[in-house]
Structure 1
Amino acid sequence: MKKIVMMIAALLIVLAGCGNKNEDNGKLKVYTTVFPFKSMTEQIGGEHVDVESIYPNGIDIHTFEPTQKDTLNVAKGDLFIYSSDELDPVAAKIAKTVKNEKTLPVAKAIKENQLLEHDHDHEEGHDHEHEHEHEHAESAHDPHVWLDPVMDKAFAEQIKDRLVKEDPDHKADYEKNYAKLAKDIVGIDQQLKDITKNPKRDTVYISHDSLGYLANRYGFKQEGVSGMNNDEPSQREIVSLINQINELNAPYILYEQNIPSKITDIIKEKTETESLPFHNMAVLTDNDMKDKNVSYQSIMKKNIESLDKALNE
């Protein structure tokens, strides 16, 4: 068994050492994790890149485990973009099979005091009868950094710089495309500042704790039905959340595109709240794919509309 593992590791190293650019079309082959990294890379790279996420549509990334084929594909590519080894232990496993010069952990430079700690409240409150059902690496910090537009602008710049390094012949295109994207991200930041300047209420209720960085950046609170890694709440926590929503007369609860909604449905029914969509952008759904122009910006525009309603209506 040990020999087989060593042979696979050797094969991955060989594949990772292949020359740059897709031999069929001359484009850089880039793999990413979450959708914002994919979308930003596509926009900056334009016609010079071929970008693919390692995640299938609609999955819950908190329970995703890559296959050997996933790892081989990334190893054969030219670049692998993810947050960081600390924030994304699953991506870190894949990155270990790829030469360092082929990886780009865009959040690696984020300072410790800028990262939000993992919220263990749900884990401490729920029954632990299922805690050993599967072993899945979890970050000690909130991994949802890609929802913060200020951080995204810095991530986009790193992606641009890396594409320029890999493909200097098209530097002008990458610089131009990045400038347009950066302008859009600044606009998103301003819209979020506008809707959170004098909100009617200060708390947003959502299907799981994905809003931490947005809440921290723009001064509101989040209350997730399930925890940061989609761990289920206890009965006591569900009752407490229902009472809180009823006491505050909160009119809305946000539903995410890839998070199971059974418990959220119960809370919605008991509180007579209305549902609003919120796209955490970890992955796209099959329905998202029907829009050929779906992008980081288009999804954030809809998210801002939902947050505005949740905070101000």
Structure 2
Amino acid sequence: MIPMNTLVARARRHLAAALALALAGSLASCAALSPGSDSSAAASGAAPTPAPSGALTVSTSFYPIQYLAQAIGGEHVAVTSVTPTNVEPHDFELSPKDVTALSASSLVLYVSGFQPSLDDALAQVSGPAVVDLAGSVDLVHHDGVEEEHEEDATGATDATGATGATGAAHDHDAAAALDPHFWLDPVRMQAAAKAVEAALAQADPAHADDYAANLNTLTTTLTDLNTGYSSGLGHCERTTFVTSHAAFGYLADRYGLTQASISGVDPESEPSPAELAAVKKVVESTGTTTIFTEELVSPETAQAVAAETGAQTRVLSPIESAPESGDYADAMRANLEELRTALSCQ
């Protein structure tokens, strides 16, 4: 059974998307900007970045995809994110201006199933080439990534969203949600990078050699991240970490850890009293000393659990928005250090 708050949120998203699509056409004629300005950046709230004349216009769904497109596209692309900086992307609802900007792009890169409003918009937008990266990164099911802690056949819920080291894939039916948070696994991020490079080369074959060279450089960065995580998390006193929401399943799988989450895949979902009790039990039974919060959602629930269990709170970024300083790779390195400290790694 899907909770009523989830159904209401889903209906609201579909209504907002329908209104945006209906209004987008009327806005298109008056949305033209002055020569040299960046309509996609304006739609996302980001500061427009001057682009070379004739640059390929690329709209991305949110920051990790934007990072890939910028790193691989280099000077030949003008890349923007549909989701503004410092906005939680899961339930972000596109405005009519956002839909118009999508239609004006040459290429759209996104991950289906992560942002329902964007899925709805892209189903009706014509014009740009649309590439769904979900099919390139081997998405799987993780505990806690069902429909907002949907109850199982016995009426019990998976209170912790625990994800083990072996993949923790489950035999759910086709309608069950896949975990979209692949970008926190540097190996899957490499697969996504290859798909982005292929999409750019197809859309702009004149610069295919440059895209291939940039992919090689990025692959080195991602390989180094994977090596650092493998060695940095190889010898730890604890292997369970507790997070605000179930964003770190792929990372846990890759490096032999177990994630226990307070919320499911959507950080705005409210855990039940039984779920909170189960999280507290995990904290106490595993000797967890740190409960991780994140930048874009309220830390109150995590802080309450920490206060009741004697743990501290620290930030572990799901990297769903651009970091305040540095880039994706820098944020991943910072996350590694937070995990090493929390898990007492050698």
Q: How high is the TM-score relative to the length of structure 1?
A: 0.80
Query: In the alignment, which residue of structure 2 is the partner of 1:92?
Result: 119
Establish whether residue 66 from structure 1 lines up as the match of residue 98 from structure 2. no
> Which of residues 7, 27, 52 in structure 1 aligns to 2:55?
27
Say whether the 8 Å CA contact 2:241–2:291 is kept in structure 1: yes
Question: What displacement does 1:121 show?
Answer: 7.4
Matched residue type, 1:107: A
Q: Do the aligned partners of 2:108 and 2:131 also contact (CA within 8 Å) in 1?
A: yes
Distance 1:177 1:98 in 2: 30
Query: 8 Å contact 1:29–1:77 — kept in the other structure?
Result: yes
Local SS of the residue matching 1:226: coil
Aligned to 2:69: 41
- Measured after TM superposition, the shift of residue 54 of structure 1 is 0.8
Residue 130 of structure 1 aligns with which residue? none
Question: 8 Å contact 2:66–2:79 — kept in the other structure?
Answer: yes
- The more displaced of 296-305 and 86-95 is 86-95
SS in 2 for 1:312: coil
Q: 2:133 aligns to what?
A: 106
Matched letter for residue 190 of structure 2: K
Please identify, of 50-59 and 87-96, the stretch whose mean Cα deviation from structure 2 is larger: 87-96
Structure 1 position 168, deviation (Å): 2.2
Question: Against the structure 1 CA distance between its residues 38 and 68, is the aligned structure 2 distance closer, same or farther, given a 3 Å change threshold?
Answer: same
Aligned to 1:265: 303
Shift of residue 88, structure 1, vs aligned partner: 4.2
Query: CA contact under 8 A between 1:37 and 1:82: conserved in structure 2?
Result: yes
SS of corresponding position for 1:61: coil
Which residue of the partner structure matches residue 335 of structure 2? Answer: 303
Q: Residue deviations 1:127-150, cap 9 Å, x none?
A: xxxxxxxxxxx9711121222211
Task: Determine the C-alpha separation between the residues in 2 that align with 1:7 and 1:246.
Answer: 52
CA contact (8 A) 2:91 2:116 kept: no
Offset of 1:29 from its aligned partner? Answer: 1.3
Check the 8 A contact 1:208/1:259 in 2, yes or no.
no
Given the alignment of the two structures, is residue 226 of structure 1 paired with residue 263 of structure 2, yes or no? Answer: yes
Contact 2:148 2:265 in 1 (8 A): no
| Residue of structure 2 in register with 1:217 after alignment | 254
Computed over aligned residues only, the root mean square deviation of the Cα atoms, in angstroms, reads 3.0
Distance 1:54 1:121, change over 3 A: closer
TM-score by length of 2: 0.73
Structure 2 residues without counterparts, runs of 5 or longer: 1-17, 32-37, 39-50, 158-174
Aligned AA (2:96)? Q
- Unmatched runs of 5 consecutive residues or more in structure 1: 16-21, 127-137
Percentage identity across aligned positions? 27
Q: Which residue of 2 aligns with 1:52?
A: 80
In the alignment, what sits opposite 2:198? Answer: 161
Would you say 1:197 and 2:234 are equivalent positions?
A: yes
Give 1:272 deviation, angstroms: 2.3
Structure 1 residues 232 and 168, CA gap change in structure 2 (3 angstroms): same
TM superposition shift of 1:276: 2.2
Partner in structure 1 of residue 273 of structure 2: 235
Q: By how many angstroms is 1:55 displaced?
A: 0.8
- State the partner residue of 2:45: none
3-state secondary structure, aligned to 1:143: coil
Structure 1's 121 and 53: CA in aligned 2 closer, same or farther, altered over 3 A? Answer: closer
Q: Distance in 2 between matches of 1:171 and 1:225?
A: 44
Alignment-mate amino acid for residue 129 of structure 2: K
What CA distance in whole angstroms lies between the structure 2 residues aligned with 1:191 and 1:146? Answer: 16
Cα deviations by residue, 1:37-70 (Å, 9 ceiling, x for unpaired): 1011111111111111111222222221111111
Inter-partner Cα distance in structure 2 for 1:7 and 1:306? 45
3-state secondary structure, aligned to 2:90: helix
Answer yes or no: is the 8 Å Cα contact 1:40–1:296 preserved in 2: no
C-alpha distance in structure 1 between counterparts of 2:231 and 2:214, whole Å? 26
**AA matched with 1:184:** T
For 1:269, the aligned partner's letter is A
Partner residue in 2 for 1:274: 312
In structure 1, C-alpha distance between the alignment counterparts of 2:138 and 2:306, rounded to whole Å: 37
Alignment partner, residue 189 of structure 2: 152
- Report SS of the residue matched to 1:29: strand
How far does residue 123 in structure 1 lie from its aligned partner after superposition?
4.5
For 1:257, the aligned partner's letter is E
Deviation at 1:120, TM superposition (A): 5.2
